[in-house]
Amino acid sequence: MSHFTMPVHWYMNAPLRTIPLTCTLNALHHRFIKYSISSMPVVDRSEALIGVVSRTDLIRQSFARRESDTEAPLLRIPQLTAADIMSPGAITVDSQDTLEEAAEVMAVEQIHRVYVTESGHLVGVLSARDVMPAVVDLQVTKPIGHFMSTPLFVVPSDETIANVTAFLETIHVSGVVVIGEAGALGVFTQAEALQCRNLPRATPVRDAMDTEILTVKEGTPLHLVAEEAVKLSTWRVVATDVTGVRGIVTPLDIVRAIAKDRRPAR
């Protein structure tokens, strides 16, 4: 039996960390860093889900695109609360829904996670990364190049973190690959932007990037890449060929492709 037919509660993360409407953005930032997460659900006094705040929301509020002082910190977190910047509502699935059904929801809605409810109560969260063990079980043999995102957005290692952060906002992606003469050196994502919030805006991105990336040939079978990613607890996968870096593969890319492949023919 495929793990994709198993109920969501087998794979979800619980207990779920939530924040109140009054949570300050500074406190929210520390939660993102402490728990290595990219969004948090906002609940009211009765613990009902009323909205979501993401790293994208926080960075958008904290980044001064036209700041001229190169020695100024990358981000200036304003004195606002979750209520001021949250997106109302959230996509949910039931804890008894199958993993396949949840993956389909993420693929259709183009989101990296769904919140899980049980008898109407919020009980957990299922992210695209949580689906990866099931991908290993499914033994998908299609090459990783079949799933990678293109065009690939890259930046040179000497570019400033201010320019790269502005670039992330402009192209509406969560991260880019940092390259040098030897090829892919690392990635700079919204997570790194928050981590280096106090660094001067003129800091080279090579000093703030994450070097823990998984580089694979684009012909490598998907299940082998997923297995290695799960083992290393990372999902920053860069696909290459003889010419160099070809694309990047995110958990959502995999969920989207698997959901599509598993839809019945009509």
pLDDT at 236 over 60: yes
262 falls in which pLDDT band (50, 70, 90)? low
Confidence at residue 90, expressed as pLDDT on a 0 to 100 scale: 92
Q: Could you tell me which of 229, 225, 31 has the C-alpha nearest to residue 143?
A: 225
Give me the domains of the chain, ranges plus CATH numbers.
3-128 (3.10.580.10), 138-262 (3.10.580.10)
Q: Could you tell me which of 128, 138, 136 has the C-alpha nearest to residue 13?
A: 128
Lowest mean pLDDT across 59-68, 106-115, 146-155: 146-155
Counts for the chain of helices (H) and strands (E), in that order: 9, 13
Q: What is the mean pLDDT of residues 212-218?
A: 89
Q: What is the pTM of this model?
A: 0.82
Lowest mean pLDDT across 170-174, 211-215, 255-259: 255-259
253 falls in which pLDDT band (50, 70, 90)? confident
Q: Tens digits of per-residue pLDDT, 131-142?
A: 888 777 777 788
Q: Is the peptide bond before 264 cis (omega within 30 degrees of 0)?
A: no
pLDDT at 188 over 90: yes
Confidence at residue 2, expressed as pLDDT on a 0 to 100 scale: 58
196 falls in which pLDDT band (50, 70, 90)? very high
Lowest mean pLDDT across 72-81, 195-204, 205-214, 247-256: 247-256
Write the DSSP string, 53-90.
EEHHHHHHHHB-TT---TTSBSB---S-BHHHHPEE--
Q: Tens digits of per-residue pLDDT, 81-112?
A: 999 999 999 999 999 999 889 989 998 898 88
pLDDT at 264 over 80: no
47 falls in which pLDDT band (50, 70, 90)? confident
Q: With 0-12 CB in 10 A as exposed, 13-18 as middle and 19+ as buried, what is 12? A: buried
Confidence at residue 3, expressed as pLDDT on a 0 to 100 scale: 65
Beta-strand relationship, 214-217 and 244-249: unpaired
Q: What is the mean pLDDT of the chain?
A: 88
Lowest mean pLDDT across 17-26, 69-78, 180-189: 180-189
239 falls in which pLDDT band (50, 70, 90)? confident
CB distance 248 to 150 below 8 Å: no
